[in-house]
C-alpha cells in the first residue's frame, strides 16, 4: 500500500496530499507440493504486471520532520505460466490481480536544496483490507484453448486469502514549491507485504510493488515561514 511524503520548505502545519502512482507489481510465492499419486503442477517464477495506487493523505509538518496518515487504494498481483498433469498436460498462463484499501502511517525527514527544491526519504507501514481478487486464465488443453475470468469476493475470497495485511514502505521523494501553499511531489516507492496473503500453511504469497508516484501537496492554511 502506503502514503506519500512531501517537502517542508520550513513551513509547519497541516497539509493535504492527493497522489497517484503507477509501476510494476509482483509476488514472492512458494507453490504447494504435488499430491501423492496425483497430477503435478510445474509453474514458472512469478512475473511482473502493472500495479498502481491512489492516496489521499493528511500530513503534519514540524520543522524538518513530517508524519502522515490517511487512506489509499492499491492494486497488486502477478502473472505466471504453468504445466499441469502428466499424461495429457495442460499448458496455460494466469494473471492475478488483488485489490486493497489501506490506512498508512509514515515518518519522513526533509532536506532542503535551495529555496524551492527538497528531497525527503520516508519509512512507514500500513494496514490493508484485502477485499477482492481477479483471476484471468488462458489454457491450452490438447489443442483446445480456453479463456476464463473469475472474480473472488465474499466467501470465495475468505476461503483462500487473508482479509488484512501489514505492509512496509520505503520511498524517496523530491519536491518543488509552486506557491506559498502548493508543492509538486514526485519519486519512487517500494511496498512489500510482510506476511502471506494466503491462508494455507504449506505455501505463501507476499505481494510487492515498485511505483513512481506524483502528487500535489496543499497547505490547509497560509503558514508560510520562508527558509533561510
Segment 1-14, tens digit of pLDDT: 333 343 444 478 99
- Answer yes or no: are the C-beta atoms of 169 and 191 closer than 8 Å: yes
Least-confidence region, from 6-10, 23-27, 137-141, 173-177: 6-10
User: pTM for the complete prediction?
Assistant: 0.84
Residue 188 lies in a domain: yes
* Percentage of the chain modeled with pLDDT above 90: 61
**Structural domain boundaries, residue 72:** 13-219
30 or 170: which leads in pLDDT: 170
Least-confidence region, from 36-40, 145-149, 210-214: 36-40
- What CATH number did the domain enclosing 208 receive? 2.40.160.20
Residue 226 lies in a domain: no
Report the number of distinct structural domains present in the chain: 1
Residue 197 lies in a domain: yes
Residue 4 lies in a domain: no
Residue 3 lies in a domain: no
Segment 94-137, tens digit of pLDDT: 899 999 999 999 999 999 888 889 999 999 999 999 999 998 88
Amino acid at each position: 500500500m502506503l502514503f506519500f511524503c512531501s517537502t517542508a520548505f520550513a513551513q509547519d502545519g497541516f497539509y493535504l496530499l492527493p497522489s497517484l502512482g503507477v509501476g510494476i507489481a509482483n509476488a514472492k510465492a512458494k507453490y504447494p507440493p504435488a499430491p501423492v499419486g496425483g497430477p503435478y503442477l510445474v509453474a514458472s517464477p512469478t512475473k511482473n504486471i502493472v500495479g498502481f495506487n491512489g492516496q489521499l493523505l493528511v500530513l503534519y509538518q514540524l520543522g524538518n520532520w513530517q508524519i502522515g496518515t490517511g487512506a489509499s487504494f492499491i492494486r497488486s498481483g502477478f502473472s505466471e505460466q504453468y504445466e499441469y498433469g502428466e499424461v495429457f498436460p495442460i499448458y496455460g498462463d494466469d494473471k492475478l490481480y488483488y485489490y486493497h484499501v489501506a490506512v498508512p502511517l509514515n515518518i519522513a525527514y526533509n532536506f532542503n536544496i535551495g529555496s524551492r527544491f527538497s528531497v525527503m526519504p520516508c519509512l512507514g507501514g500500513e494496514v490493508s483490507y484485502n477485499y477482492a481478487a481477479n483471476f484471468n486464465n488462458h489454457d491450452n488443453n490438447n489443442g483446445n484453448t480456453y479463456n476464463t475470468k473469475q472474480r473472488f469476493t465474499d466467501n470465495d475470497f475468505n476461503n483462500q486469502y487473508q482479509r488484512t495485511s501489514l505492509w512496509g514502505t520505503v520511498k524517496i521523494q523530491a519536491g518543488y514549491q509552486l506557491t506559498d501553499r502548493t508543492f509538486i511531489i514526485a519519486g519512487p516507492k517500494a511496498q512489500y507485504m510482510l506476511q502471506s496473503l494466503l491462508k494455507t500453511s504449506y505455501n505463501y504469497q507476499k505481494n510487492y510493488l515498485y511505483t513512481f508516484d506524483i502528487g500535489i501537496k496543499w497547505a490547509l492554511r497560509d503558514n508560510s515561514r520562508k527558509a533561510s
